[in-house]
């Protein structure tokens, strides 16, 4: 036996389907609008970031620092690019005073401890310098000089200085660094 559908059921069903159809169109329009806003935001962001030029007063990314490093390929493969600050401190005892010279900033490179021998192979330092520095668990850092011969220094990593830009939670989430210098 066939059951008869009530007239009210058919009307409710038809109105439900028509309301679902208009909701579906509205959802697609909303998704399309959000997608367009997202794409527009990406384009504007790319325009603003790609228009930046790097000069002496504008060093704002690690990529720009990497490009300025002496022997950038060697630096990226065996260490990390760095900003090197050279300054001198004069201390007098009678009377006690401290005088500091104006710092100079130059691009440089810090070689990982286990890659310090690479500078010896390149003829930048001798084996005695590498042995003397790495024996104390230090590593080598260098900058270019105007005459083209790098100025090499034995450097050590100072873990006592905290990154004051990070909160304690952010610093804890970073954990230990994978690169050991």
Both tokens assigned to 18: 């028509």
Residues 6+ apart with CB under 8 A from 98: 89, 90, 91
Structural domain that includes position 11: 1-51
Helix (H) or strand (E) holding 119: helix 117-121
Helix (H/G/I), strand (E/B), else coil: 71: coil
Which residue is it, tokens 């790098």? Answer: 150
Q: Tell me if the bond preceding 95 is cis, omega within 30° of 0.
A: yes
Helix (H/G/I), strand (E/B), else coil: 166: coil
Instruction: State whether 99 and 170 are in the same domain.
Output: yes
- pLDDT at residue number 140: 92
Instruction: State whether 40 and 125 are in the same domain.
Output: no
* Residue 1 is assigned to a structural domain of this protein: yes
Domain count for the chain, please give it. 2
* Residue 181 is assigned to a structural domain of this protein: no
- pLDDT at residue number 178: 44
Instruction: State whether 30 and 102 are in the same domain.
Output: no
Both tokens assigned to 45: 């962001």
- pLDDT at residue number 44: 80
Instruction: State whether 23 and 111 are in the same domain.
Output: no
Average pLDDT along the chain: 76
Q: For residues 89 and 168, give the distance between their C-alpha atoms in angstroms, rounded to a whole number.
A: 32
C-alpha closest to that of 138 among 148, 146, 130, 147: 130
Pick out the chain residues at pLDDT < 70: 1-26, 48-61, 145-147, 159-168, 170-181
Q: For residues 37 and 44, give the distance between their C-alpha atoms in angstroms, rounded to a whole number.
A: 11
108 CB burial (10 A radius; 0-12, 13-18, 19+): buried
Instruction: State whether 149 and 80 are in the same domain.
Output: yes
* Residue 135 is assigned to a structural domain of this protein: yes
Q: For residues 61 and 50, give the distance between their C-alpha atoms in angstroms, rounded to a whole number.
A: 12
Instruction: State whether 87 and 162 are in the same domain.
Output: yes
């Amino acid at each position: 036996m066939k059951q008869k559908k009530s007239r009210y059921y058919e009307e409710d069903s038809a109105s439900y389907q028509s309301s679902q159809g208009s909701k579906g169109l509205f959802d697609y329009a909303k998704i399309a609008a959000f997608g367009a806003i997202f794409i527009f935001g990406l384009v504007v962001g790319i325009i603003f970031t790609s228009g930046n030029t790097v000069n002496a007063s504008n060093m704002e990314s690690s990529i720009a620092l990497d490009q300025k490093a002496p022997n950038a390929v060697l630096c990226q493969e065996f260490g990390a690019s760095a900003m090197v600050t050279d300054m001198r401190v004069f201390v007098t005892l009678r009377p006690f005073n401290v005088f500091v010279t104006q710092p100079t900033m130059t691009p440089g490179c810090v070689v990982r401890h286990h890659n310090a021998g690479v500078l010896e192979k390149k003829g930048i330092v001798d084996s005695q310098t590498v042995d003397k520095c790495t024996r104390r668990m230090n590593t080598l850092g260098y900058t270019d000089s105007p005459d083209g011969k790098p100025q090499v220094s034995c450097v050590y990593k100072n873990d006592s200085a905290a990154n004051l830009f990070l909160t304690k939670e952010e610093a804890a989430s970073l954990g230990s660094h994978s690169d050991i210098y």
